[in-house]
Structure 1
Amino acid sequence: MNQRARIAMSDEDVTAFLEGSRKLQLATINPDGTPHLVTMFYGLSDGEIAFWTYGKAQKTRNLARDPRVSCLIETGDDYAELRGVLVYGKARQVDDRDRVLAIGMLIARRMTPGVPDELLLPYVEKTGLKRVAYVVERTKVVSWDHRRLS
């Protein structure tokens, strides 16, 4: 077995890693072809990465032109501790306003663990007026867990 195969996570491990993390690095494609990379809080909607952003944001304009994305979620400081998941896919915009707000709530809960929904809802409803949401349809997943090397 090669080293790449040794450090790859199982599907269950990928799911647990995504469920246990809160932030990702989202890459979209700028008009000139360069990557646009930002840190985003995210949620999981039916197991898929979901995020929201302002309707006038650069990433929103990029996704309207080209829906391809890369989402990197990683942790660890020392080489032997590095773990990560890289999801390639297409970001599908969510059109239903109730679902946009539901995704906003998923994200708000992850951003502020332990805060009751009744305190989060007014923020989500207000900021949601200017936001759009996306769900990432995976086309490829790459994972690594360097703890498996020891």
Structure 2
Amino acid sequence: MTATQRRGRRIMMTPGELDEFLATQRTCRVATVSAGGAPHVSALWFAWDGTSLWLYSVVRSRRWADLRRDPRVAVVVDTGEEYGELRGAELIGTVEFVGEAPRTGELCADLDLPETLFARKHFGLEEMPHDGRHAWVRLTPEKIVSWDFRKLGPARPAPR
């Protein structure tokens, strides 16, 4: 095992830390594969239910078209400005489309929790407003890599 791997284990978030982090952060970066094979990365709001990351995407977007064609995705959620403040997680897997597209509010029990979480987190509302332009994608990650550089201790000055 290399020093990088040991260090990676030392700075990874515990399951509780990861849940709290994903529940409170607002924006993620979603990486998809475009038709020609080129990567495409876009920022998006999300909700975390403790098991899955829920993405509310415009259905007439390049991201949506990419995911319809190839549902594999990598998502990064991160925060911090200084080196010793950096925290984040990368979630990798295959998405599922849930509910009607675009979403107009039809009853869908699978969306009750994510819509409540999303509405509270991003709009300060108890019910999700539907605009007929967005729809839901669920990522239940197959792999999660996390980091919290605050676990390294006090920040050291950069070498000169």
TM-score, scaled relative to structure 1: 0.84
2:137 to 134, 139, 144: 134
SS at match of 2:141: strand
Which of 81, 99, 106 is 2:117 aligned to? 106
In the alignment, what sits opposite 2:39? 35
Q: Please, which of 15, 20, 25 is the counterpart of residue 21 of structure 1?
A: 25
- CA deviation after TM superposition for structure 1 residue 116, in Å: 3.7
Q: Deviations over 1:10-46 (max 9, x none)?
A: 1121111101111101111111111111111111245
Structure 1 gap ranges (5+): none
Query: How many residues are matched?
Result: 142
Partner in structure 1 of residue 156 of structure 2: none
In the alignment, is the contact (CA less than 8 A) between 1:52 and 1:104 conserved in 2? no
TM-score by length of 2: 0.79
User: Which 5+ residue runs of structure 2 have no aligned equivalent?
Assistant: 101-105, 154-160
Give the number of the structure whose residues are more often helix, by fraction: 1
With over 3 angstroms needed to count, the CA separation of the structure-2 counterparts of 1:15 and 1:46, relative to structure 1, is closer
Q: Percent identity?
A: 26
C-alpha separation in 2, matches of 1:39 and 1:75: 13
Structure 1 segments (4+ residues) deviating >6 Å: none
Q: Which has the higher contact order (CA 8 A, sep 6+)?
A: 1
Deviations 1:89-147 (A, max 9, x none): 111100354348644453232223xx343xx65xx13x1x2322111021110000111
**Structure with greater strand share of residues:** 1
